[in-house]
């Protein structure tokens, strides 16, 4: 592969002609490739090729995922009340006293309902973690709530290996997320009812919301109305609007 | 200093080179050329998609309270380049082309080590002093350029080595903020998520400055130097501008 170290005038002429032809072809190929990416049929609002690469990224990082690998925790003093960024699905009034969460099986059949008292009766866990927004800000905050894995345990006899995903929706069904089961089993995935030891206020997702440092905020559904155990991923509000479905951190 | 200020020797009149003397010498190997030119669009795409991400939360400004005296990118800039309200697409491009950028960058690193090209790039002890001389020369403040010891002048050695290191830094901080839990050791190495993100952004700004400086440096070095990155060979003798 050693290249000749020096050339005569004729050799140089020949070589530079060849280089320019190759270079021109490479530029044309690159340009066509770029147009190909941009023009590939859209898959939920982004070029299909890029959606496929999101899928490849997901399979790489989900296969490296370990349920016992924890996100960094911070000192309690560093925690502050979380900035409010979205009100989709929670901008209408509800009667918190009558609120219940419905748990469904894969075919939409009802498995059970729970009041806030039921969830509070599960062991309480607290975490001070860094909440990350996909738009580019991060903030340390403190959550208190039940581990989602304890809810999984309540339905252990009905949850087989075929259950791979969990869908969640607000009571008005206007905001919805799809979560992978591995993240839902993780000890830092909570059904949170407290922030900094105070019950959640409306804007933060009262009475019960999802909180996990393993996903961006777009996945941490506020005011949970329905939880569905599923055999395949479900609809996802921001995934359907061009974002990655996995957004695992 | 005296050496630098020595009067410039008049260039000897170059006789037309005899037929058996080289007309052009190898300057950039084939691998270097390919990877250099592949990197150009990839880096551009990474910066462009990165700025679409940045637009969603453009926090790095300097100012006091509500009075902002410096903002990185003015609105007309964002508008012209189509950076506004494109976060989802920005992320999709960023996380796809990141792999190509990484593969090309790592391949270049290995290639440079294996071929021994790195010796041409790494600055030595005199480089800092000499690169100042080159700067003065480039700014027309000094007549003669310090000698090239090897293929690149001292200022080029400094910039090119720095930019390769920065490429590595963009890659590492990128992964540190891409998977801050799964790659938590990396994130911790950079002082946490927020710090890693700041470095990631700062590197981007330096890349943008580099683009400008690099183009000026190349323009100053002349057309034969530029052509050598395409053909691999630089024409020597025959009145070539070797500045
Ligand atoms: C030449 C290389 C690169 C350049 C110029 C670049 C540039 C940028 C810029 C300007 C931002 C926005 C920064 C901000 O809003 O604070 C960004 C964000 C980001 N970059 Fe890069 N980047 C590069 C390589 C990478 C690589 C290799 C990865 C690894 C996967 C990566 C992952 C990320 C992530 C995860 C974000 C934040 C996304 C978010 O929080 O929504 N970058 N990049």
Name, in order, each residue with C-beta under 8 angstroms of B178's C-beta and a sequence gap of 6 or more.
Answer: B95, B98
Q: How far is CA A207 from CA A100, A104, A160, A172, A200, in A?
A: 9, 19, 29, 14, 6
| B54 CA to centre of ligand 1 in angstroms | 9
| A172 CA to centre of ligand 1 in angstroms | 35
Confidence band of A3 (pLDDT split at 50, 70, 90): low
pLDDT > 70 in chain B, percent? 74
Asked whether the beta carbons of residue A137 and residue B59 sit closer than 8 angstroms, the reply is yes
Let me know whether A64 and A145 are in one domain: yes
Let me know whether A107 and A175 are in one domain: yes
pLDDT tens digits for range A107-138: 999 999 999 999 999 999 999 999 999 988 99
Name, in order, each residue with C-beta under 8 angstroms of B2's C-beta and a sequence gap of 6 or more.
Answer: none
B63, pLDDT greater than 60? no
**Considering the domain boundaries, does residue A138 fall inside one?**
yes
B193, pLDDT greater than 90? yes
Domain ranges of chain B: 30-108, 117-243
Q: What is the CATH number of the domain that holds A133?
A: 3.90.420.10
Confidence band of B58 (pLDDT split at 50, 70, 90): low
Let me know whether A229 and A150 are in one domain: yes
Mutation target vs B (from A11, A12, A83, A182; most B CBs, 10 A cutoff): A12
B5, pLDDT greater than 50? no
Confidence band of B148 (pLDDT split at 50, 70, 90): low
B243, pLDDT greater than 50? no
DSSP lists the bridge partners of residue A138 as A132
User: How many domains, chain A?
Assistant: 2
**CA neighbor of B57 nearest in space, from B85, B80, B81, B79:** B85
Residues in chain A within 8 Å Cβ distance of B91: 134, 243-244
**Considering the domain boundaries, does residue A30 fall inside one?**
yes
Let me know whether A130 and A34 are in one domain: no
Let me know whether A99 and A208 are in one domain: yes
Let me know whether A29 and A96 are in one domain: no
Residues in chain B within 8 Å Cβ distance of A57: 95
The answer, for A3 touching chain B at a CB cutoff of 8 Å, is yes
Output the pLDDT for position B7. Answer: 37
B236, pLDDT greater than 60? yes
Taking the CA of residue B165 and the nearest CA in chain A, the distance in Å comes to: 25
**Considering the domain boundaries, does residue A69 fall inside one?**
yes
* Domain that includes residue A26, residue range: 8-39
| A236 CA to centre of ligand 1 in angstroms | 24
Residues in chain A within 8 Å Cβ distance of B24: 6-7, 9, 11-12
Q: Which atom of ligand 1 is nearest to the CA of A135?
A: 41
Output the pLDDT for position B14. Answer: 47
Please give all residues whose beta carbon lies within 6 A of any atom in ligand 1, as ranges. Answer: A 134, 136; B 43, 46-47, 50-51, 53-54, 57, 91, 94-95, 98, 101-102, 170-171, 174-175, 177-178, 197, 200-201, 204, 207
pLDDT tens digits for range A25-46: 999 999 999 999 999 999 999 9
**Considering the domain boundaries, does residue A99 fall inside one?**
yes
Taking the CA of residue B12 and the nearest CA in chain A, the distance in Å comes to: 22
Is residue A105 within 8 A of residue A158, CB to CB? The reply is: yes
Let me know whether A167 and A205 are in one domain: yes
**Considering the domain boundaries, does residue A246 fall inside one?**
no
Give the residue, B131 or B9, on which the prediction is more confident: B131
Confidence band of A91 (pLDDT split at 50, 70, 90): confident
State chain B's mean pLDDT as an integer: 80
The stretch B134-147 carries a mean pLDDT of: 75
**Considering the domain boundaries, does residue A248 fall inside one?**
no
Asked whether the beta carbons of residue B182 and residue A249 sit closer than 8 angstroms, the reply is yes
Asked whether the beta carbons of residue A8 and residue B95 sit closer than 8 angstroms, the reply is no
Let me know whether A140 and A35 are in one domain: no
Let me know whether A134 and A115 are in one domain: yes
B12, pLDDT greater than 50? no
Residues in chain A within 8 Å Cβ distance of B25: 5-7
B144, pLDDT greater than 80? no
Name, in order, each residue with C-beta under 8 angstroms of A145's C-beta and a sequence gap of 6 or more.
Answer: A119, A124, A125, A190, A191, A192, A193, A194, A208, A211
A212 vs A41: CA distance, rounded Å: 33
Of A128-132, B6-10, B212-216, the range with the highest mean pLDDT is A128-132
Q: Which chain A residue is nearest to residue B193, measuring alpha carbons?
A: A138
Nearest CA to ligand 1 atom 17: B50
**Considering the domain boundaries, does residue A3 fall inside one?**
no
Let me know whether A56 and A88 are in one domain: yes
Flag the least confident range among A131-140, B83-92, B160-169: B83-92
Let me know whether A119 and A140 are in one domain: yes
**Considering the domain boundaries, does residue A2 fall inside one?**
no
Let me know whether A79 and A114 are in one domain: yes
């Amino acid at each position: 592969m050693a290249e000749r170290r020096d050339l005569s005038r004729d050799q140089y002429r020949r070589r530079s002609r060849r280089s320019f032809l190759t270079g021109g072809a490479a530029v044309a190929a690159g340009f066509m490739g770029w147009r190909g990416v941009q023009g590939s049929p859209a898959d939920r609002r982004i070029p299909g090729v890029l959606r496929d690469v999101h899928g490849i990224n997901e399979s790489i990082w989900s296969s490296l995922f370990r349920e016992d690998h924890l996100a960094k925790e911070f000192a309690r003093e560093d925690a502050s009340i979380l900035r409010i960024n979205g009100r989709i699905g929670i901008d209408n009034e509800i009667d918190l006293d009558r609120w219940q969460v419905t748990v469904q099986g894969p075919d939409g059949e009802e498995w059970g309902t729970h009041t806030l008292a039921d969830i509070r009766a599960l062991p309480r866990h607290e975490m001070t973690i860094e909440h990350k927004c996909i738009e580019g800000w991060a903030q340390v905050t403190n959550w208190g709530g039940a581990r989602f894995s304890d809810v999984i345990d309540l339905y252990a006899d009905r949850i087989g290996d075929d259950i791979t995903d969990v869908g969640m929706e607000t009571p008005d069904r206007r905001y919805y997320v799809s979560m992978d089961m591995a993240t839902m089993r993780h000890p830092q995935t909570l059904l949170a009812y407290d922030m900094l030891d105070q019950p959640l206020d409306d804007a933060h997702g009262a009475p019960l919301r999802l909180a996990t440092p393993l996903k961006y905020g777009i996945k941490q559904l506020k005011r949970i109305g329905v939880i569905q155990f599923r055999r395949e991923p479900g609809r996802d509000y921001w995934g359907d609007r061009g974002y990655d479905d996995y957004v695992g951190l | 200093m005296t050496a630098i200020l020595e009067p410039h020797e008049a260039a000897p009149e170059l006789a037309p080179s005899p037929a058996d003397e080289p007309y052009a010498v190898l300057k950039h190997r084939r691998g270097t050329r390919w990877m250099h030119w592949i990197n150009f669009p990839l880096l551009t795409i990474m910066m462009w998609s990165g700025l679409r991400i940045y637009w969603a939360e453009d926090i790095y400004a300097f100012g006091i309270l509500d009075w902002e005296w410096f903002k990185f990118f003015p609105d007309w800039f964002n508008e012209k380049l189509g950076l506004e309200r494109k976060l989802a697409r920005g992320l999709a491009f960023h996380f796809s082309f990141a792999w190509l950028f990484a593969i090309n960058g790592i391949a270049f690193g290995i290639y440079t080590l294996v071929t021994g090209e790195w010796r041409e790039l790494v600055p030595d002890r005199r480089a800092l002093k000499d690169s100042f001389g080159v700067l003065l020369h480039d700014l027309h403040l000094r007549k003669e350029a310090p000698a090239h010891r090897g293929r690149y002048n001292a200022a080029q050695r400094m910039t090119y080595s720095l930019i390769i290191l920065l490429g590595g830094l963009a890659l590492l901080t990128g992964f540190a903020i891409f998977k801050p839990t799964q790659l938590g050791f990396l994130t911790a190495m950079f002082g946490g998520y927020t710090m890693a993100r700041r470095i990631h952004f700062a590197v981007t700004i330096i890349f943008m400055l580099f683009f400008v400086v690099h183009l000026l440096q190349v323009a100053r070095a002349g057309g034969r130097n530029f052509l050598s990155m395409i053909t691999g060979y630089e024409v020597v003798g025959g009145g070539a501008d070797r500045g």
